[in-house]
Structure 1
Amino acid sequence: MKRSGTASAATFSTRYLRRTLQGLAAPATRSVSDPLAEWAVQRIRLEGRPFRFEGHEYLRAIYDDVSPHVVLSKAAQVGGTVWALLRSIHACLSGLSVLYLFPTRSDVIDFSKSRVGPLLADNAFLARMMSDTDTAGLKRIGEAFLYLRGMQSTVGLKSVPADMLVFDELDEAPPNAKAMAMERLAHSDYKRIVELSNPSLPDYGIDEMFVKSDQRHWTLKCPACGRWTAPVKAFPTKLGEQVEIIRPREDGSHYLACPECEAELDLAAGEWVADFPDRSIHGYRISQLFSSKVDPGEILTEYRTTRFPDRFFNLKIGIPWADLERRLDAATVLALCGDDLMLEKAESGSFAMGVDTGKLLHVVILQNTRRDEPHRLVHLAVCRDFEELDSLMKTFRVSRCVIDGLPETHATRAFANRHGSRVFLCFFNETQRGTPKWNEDEHIVQINRTEALDASRAAVREKKLVLPRQAPLVEKFAHHMASDAKVLDEDEATGIKKYRYIKTGENHFSLACTYALLAGKDLPGPINPDHCLTWSPSIWADDRTLWECVSEEDQQPIWRTRFLSSSSDGWV
């Protein structure tokens, strides 16, 4: 019995040891336990030199962060992409497959050539462990795979199982692509997520995720007075404000200063401090302010002279930025609310309608007013089918409707045909400039998208729009109007900069309002029949009536409009 007990104990110990060793060797365990910072310092060479943290001390804690979800809201050229690549390779060496995502396919090719290729050339041990390197989008590293994919196409995201996702330059990617990519983690027991990007707009892209994180800031202790300062928090968020954190030396150079006593801060002697330490997502905001590779004097000069504040704050300071010229806020839109309730049918006058198509049809109806008066938004609706639009056309005696030509081209064209030349399909044409191009024969209007959205934003900013009394649907309209934001793009080949609008949330009413304002353009406002010499009705083939008002001043017709009845109803 004694020998049997000893044998049983030995068998148990052996099995326990085997299970323990297997656990220690498991990919998830190794990836969590192996410190990435030490691995990089010991094994990696970059640009022919050993990897070091000198000048980028703020990165060390990020390298060793093993949180399942890490977010980097970063300025340009601060080492974030190198970290993401090394973390991906390190995970692959531990047996985990990684899906590394970029905004476009061309970004994948550029990254493979400019980042992965040189890394392999500098590190022979990685080259030996990597196979299937003949394609830009797939690398086999040990027993795992590194997939490099663009997010513009859904094809590249299908059938790619992953244990770890990396979203690089998240703000440049299509908003809906992230949700599809997340499905690639469905069958993994590991499920790690890394997100990094230059920020663009508040509460969009990487900033939306940073706001949900524990919000860590690199914080420096003043060697003189002991005050702790987070450089990003201390820097102004608006142009023209006094910069306290950057001070000049006597020799004309500049340094990062304590806002309290102006003593010089040690960029390397900092630590990451979380605003919300209980949150599970770890978020870091990295700025050029605490990089020893960037002269603070250059940052100060650019702050004082920049013509593109969004680029400065996004790429230098590493924070999102927007003003009312680039993005409305819901409060500004709701400030246009009056005391009137929404109309349920037409009063006297002419009405213009805008419709954004999709799974539902979002409708904005404006009552045309005199040229010196703001437009009145009189009705909002969310319709399920085009028959409801037919009803609104009749109920509000709509003089002109502009409807999104895509994606329901067949249905919208049938709707236009039912209403003659009162309905126009809108197609955005980025090469067109200036006034919209109306094609009466084809029932089509073309306009530059940026210019069209500029016009609807201007109507709000310049208070040329009056809203009904505040109600849930009006509040939804306001949030939709705030979801289209203007960003500055730069062509890498030519350096040419141009603005475009991006969608940061649901924007159906925003587009419908843009179409409605376009529909109401150049339509007359109300005319008092008493000021006209004649009303001249003439019956059309479809039994509708054309009323013509003739001005007292020059005996010339000043307006023709169409009604579904034979009465002008007084004011029109």
Structure 2
Amino acid sequence: MNLLQRSLDCQLMMLEETAARLGYGGTGSIPEAMGFLEWCEDLAAKGLKIDGRPFRLDNRPALRPIYDAIPTTRQQAYGKTLVIQKATQLGLTVWEVLADLYMAKKWSPVNIGMFLPDQNTAAFKSERRFMPIIRSSPQLLSELIYRYDGKGGRQKIGEGNVLTREIAGSLLMFLWTSGKVSTESRPMDIVSLDEVQGMSLEEIDKVAARMGDSDVRFKMLLSTANMPDEDINNWYKRGTQEVWHTRCPGCGALSDLSDPNGIFPSRSIVFNKGQVRPAPPYPGETAQHAPPVDDYVWVCPECQGYIPDPQYGDYIAQNPGAGNDIRSFLLPRTISPRMTAREMFTDFGFASTGAQKQSFFNRTLARPYVDPDQIPVSYEVCQAGVERGRAAGVTWEETGSGTYMGIDQMGGFNAVIIKKRLPDNRQAVIHVEAVFDLSPFDRCADLMRQYGVEVCVVEQLPNFNDARKFANRFPGRVFLCTGYQDMGDESMHWGDSLSRSERMTSEEERTRYTVRLDRYKCMQTSLYRIRDGICLFPDPNGLEQEVIENGRKRRIAILYDWVFLHFSRTALVTVADPETGKTRRTVQKIGLDPHFSFALMLCDAAWARVQGNSTFILPDAGLAGVGTAQSPSPSAAQNLTSRLAEMMGSAPEGACGKCRYFGGGTCSERDLRVGALDPGCVFYEPAADDVTS
């Protein structure tokens, strides 16, 4: 053993003896009445360091109530949740690590799961955030590297595995939500989830389920926000929503200086040319605070007086009726002693693009944000589609023929949308339905017959077998969507578009009636058709259905209450991979799973199977009607037909019209509708009367 190790062991032994005299047990127990804030200040007095600097809270008064929010006893913690929706660089990760250590020691033995979105960040947090805190405190380090037998003896066990640490008889596990084993294989008493914006609501629920048999069942969630009603914001809204309000030393008003709804920045930051009056002294002070001249300063939104320190104030609950089971806090960067009014105003001014604005709202104002351009369809857009539908005579229909259907399925629930083609080539939604049944595809089969559905596309998961059986009942008319992927220049690929080599594979060994979609492109097409007036709707009040919501049945106007809601909660976003820096386009769900948005997309895939997925050709007389809720006149449609016929002429060599399989607008080889001028595919064979010697 080298001299350095002997010296360390000697210091640790002396520390343990001192701790015992001060009331700490050999396993590092904390006095019963000592709360978390008091314990942290005690550690600070004994030399605790963060990033090499002494830990302190005297310059962070706005954080003290967050430290006080950690329960002191297991009984106080039982079944409670603490949610922190925060800006960046506020020291909340340190707060979370110390809170986990406090609970591990105070309530020992407990199992604590410290979750992050992926394995790499979990390992980084263990080694680069957790261990430096431990190593800066001889007391904590001793309890980590030694195991005590309760009789005064101890055994050195080291610092533990990177992903598993043991302290004071409690286990701290650094886990991640993206791994199935991580969330489902270990029972836990406490879970703390950091960087929640990288987790789905389903993943959070799986983590929480691991505490089912515990007598503690306490969880903490902290993160910057992302989009409204998603991840951390979803949980924040469930709680008390306690927001930091700064107190004006002049008039005494409490204001949220970061509130973007009418306060920030126009009423909370001004450029002082000498017009801002000095602030009176804070309690315990004698001198006034003079604002800097020729600089941006914080001012009271009520009296426009100077605010020297935004950290002087209190939290005010926006949702006090939530009770104490879920306490939620919003912490903007106004509470940081390092954030100046000039820096905050400048950063706000530089945020010009949608991505920059989202970053500023999320990381500085601690608010969720979504660029309006990322959500093509709102309730207002849908209502415009209703008005266009009314002008075009679109109504709910009970029967039909030559229609198109899309089905998004879940366990015991199918979301269905049926469309038909109008004479001017626009789309009309004629039926929507939420099917709740143990065998929902039986009802879907009835709808196939009732509406004479020509082509239907159905999501094949999660109930693959039921979807396959349904498809087999209507061969060539029902296609299974087998997956989503980036498809380059294409938006979809049909399973029966086979090469000559694939044609040699037996029917039993291949799935013919399938389709793969580029989800972003297809969803974009569907939502833009609503936005641009191509997809029309009947009167929302004309169709009511009984649905099951939160386990209860209720009757709703399904188009308005559910379908339009789903459309408005579907975003088209571009995200950057944090590891590679590359961007990718994706469809993002906001606050709920928008099943009817996916049913719409699948219905449009069925439409594309027959009608094509390219540009809609509308007569000049009807183009204005797309924007003014007017349909083209019959004479305009007739003019279009004659002009198209003139443009088409006779089919050239190699086109579908010259193929032996073409007849009556369909291809007998591929069993689909084609046009005479469509380019020939790999199955093209010239018709007998076109064969030349």
TM interval, short-chain normalised: 0.7 to 0.9
Match of 2:515 in 1: 445
Match of 1:258 in 2: 300
Supply the AA of the counterpart residue of 1:492: P
**Could you tell me how far apart the structure 1 residues matched to 2:606 and 2:305 are?**
59
Match of 1:289 in 2: 334
1:376 counterpart = 2:463: no
Q: Deviations over 1:105-124 (max 9, x none)?
A: 22211211221122233223
Supply the AA of the counterpart residue of 1:35: E
Match of 2:397 in 1: 343
Q: Deviations over 1:261-298 (max 9, x none)?
A: 24134123222222344531322111112312223323
1:320 counterpart = 2:362: no
Secondary structure of the residue aligned to 2:89 is: coil
Q: Deviations over 1:36-57 (max 9, x none)?
A: 4424533421122210125533
Q: Where does the alignment leave 5 or more consecutive residues of structure 1 unmatched? A: 1-20, 533-549, 563-572
**Could you tell me how far apart the structure 2 residues matched to 1:389 and 1:433 are?**
33
Match of 1:567 in 2: none
**Could you tell me how far apart the structure 1 residues matched to 2:83 and 2:584 are?**
29
**Could you tell me how far apart the structure 1 residues matched to 2:485 and 2:364 are?**
30
Match of 1:535 in 2: none
1:423 counterpart = 2:478: yes
Supply the AA of the counterpart residue of 2:177: M
Q: Please tell me whether the aligned partners of residues 55 and 291 of structure 1 are also in contact (alpha carbons under 8 angstroms).
A: no
**Could you tell me how far apart the structure 1 residues matched to 2:193 and 2:265 are?**
36
Supply the AA of the counterpart residue of 2:129: R
Distance 1:158 1:425, change over 3 A: closer
Match of 2:290 in 1: none
**Could you tell me how far apart the structure 2 residues matched to 1:123 and 1:283 are?**
30
Shift of 1:372: 6.1
**Could you tell me how far apart the structure 2 residues matched to 1:31 and 1:184 are?**
28
Distance 1:488 1:65, change over 3 A: farther
Match of 2:449 in 1: 394
Q: Please tell me whether the aligned partners of residues 355 and 515 of structure 1 are also in contact (alpha carbons under 8 angstroms).
A: yes
Match of 1:41 in 2: 44
Match of 2:269 in 1: 246
**TM-score, normalised via structure 2 length:** 0.67
- In structure 1, which of residues 465, 477, 502 is the aligned counterpart of residue 563 of structure 2? 477
Supply the AA of the counterpart residue of 1:49: R
RMSD: 3.5
Secondary structure of the residue aligned to 1:210 is: helix
Q: Where does the alignment leave 5 or more consecutive residues of structure 2 unmatched? A: 1-23, 72-79, 146-156, 274-292, 498-511, 545-555, 619-633, 639-643, 652-656, 658-663, 668-693
Secondary structure of the residue aligned to 1:185 is: coil
**Could you tell me how far apart the structure 1 residues matched to 2:214 and 2:97 are?**
20
Match of 2:346 in 1: 301
Shift of 1:169: 1.9
Shift of 1:27: 8.3
- In structure 2, which of residues 317, 325, 328 is the aligned counterpart of residue 274 of structure 1? 317
Q: Deviations over 1:86-138 (max 9, x none)?
A: 11111111124322222222221121122112223322322221146432322
Paired positions, count: 517
Q: Please tell me whether the aligned partners of residues 104 and 170 of structure 2 are also in contact (alpha carbons under 8 angstroms).
A: yes
**Could you tell me how far apart the structure 2 residues matched to 1:341 and 1:100 are?**
54
Shift of 1:165: 1.9
Matches within 5 A, 1:87-166: 87-94=99-106, 95=108, 96-131=110-145, 133-166=159-192
1:458 counterpart = 2:544: no
Distance 1:388 1:27, change over 3 A: farther
Supply the AA of the counterpart residue of 2:51: E
Match of 2:194 in 1: 168
Match of 1:79 in 2: 91
Moved more, 427-436 or 45-54: 427-436
Shift of 1:329: 4.6
- In structure 2, which of residues 662, 665, 678 is the aligned counterpart of residue 560 of structure 1? 665
Shift of 1:378: 0.9
Q: Deviations over 1:449-479 (max 9, x none)?
A: 2222222332333333222322322222223
Supply the AA of the counterpart residue of 2:270: R
**Could you tell me how far apart the structure 2 residues matched to 1:287 and 1:187 are?**
36
Moved more, 88-97 or 219-228: 219-228
Q: Please tell me whether the aligned partners of residues 453 and 514 of structure 1 are also in contact (alpha carbons under 8 angstroms).
A: yes
Shift of 1:199: 1.0
**Could you tell me how far apart the structure 2 residues matched to 1:79 and 1:33 are?**
16
**Could you tell me how far apart the structure 1 residues matched to 2:587 and 2:452 are?**
32
Q: Please tell me whether the aligned partners of residues 28 and 190 of structure 1 are also in contact (alpha carbons under 8 angstroms).
A: no
**Could you tell me how far apart the structure 2 residues matched to 1:292 and 1:35 are?**
22
Match of 2:280 in 1: none
Moved over 6 A (4+): 25-28, 525-529
Distance 1:34 1:553, change over 3 A: closer
